[in-house]
Structure 1
Amino acid sequence: MPPLNLSPHDSSPPTQKHPLTSPVTPTPGPARPTLTTTDTNPRDRKWAANLAAAKQFYEREGHLNVPRKHVETVLAEEGWELQFRLGAWVSNQRSRAATLSEDRREQLSSIGMRWS
């Protein structure tokens, strides 16, 4: 082992002078949640997730008069808590009613969406 140089001009600790002899492998974190849908289009997956949040809100509250700033927390199948800006989303769907597909309008109407 080489002698330690502890001169006043050397500010790095001795352990930082020698490179690592074995590579360090980072420990992977928890897996990111995945939505359980068969859609491959990201917009369709996002629509399905927001629709699920709207259904949850409707089942709990009995209406879809969601305050504009409301954030809905949904528990995914994997155990993750996902948060959706549901108030803004519902408001946007109402304002885009004329351009929504018939299928999407029916999905929202079936859970109690009032369009005006």
Structure 2
Amino acid sequence: MSVSLYYRASRTVPLAAAEASAVARVVAARESSFPYPDEESLYLYENGGSEPDEIVAGSTKMPFDPDRVLPVIAHVLDSVTALRRALPGAVWRVHLDDLDVPWDEDGGYALPGTTNTP
């Protein structure tokens, strides 16, 4: 059984060119710093997602190796935090299967009981 982290941002205004560039920069930077090249990292769907107002959407399947799960979750949540900060005004939903991941203005996204670096 696999577990996935899902993330999406919605708003009525599509991405501006500068915002699309900012998203691409975040994705490139976060991919280059991902610790496990053989695992799935931040993955954004084409065209922003399947819903009409989605401007960014994606998912990451968690690794089966228990020693890698928390580092992968932390890295991807840090990535989604950077994306959210690059796209002000969007409504975000981030969840690990059925568990919503809360947003903290100072710390960003983190699972309850953990912290990420902003």
Q: Give the TM-score taking structure 1 as reference length.
A: 0.30
Give the number of the structure whose alpha-carbon radius of gyration is greater: 1
Q: Give the TM-score taking structure 2 as reference length.
A: 0.29
Select the structure with the greater relative contact order (CA < 8 A; seq sep ≥ 6). 2
Larger strand fraction of residues: 2
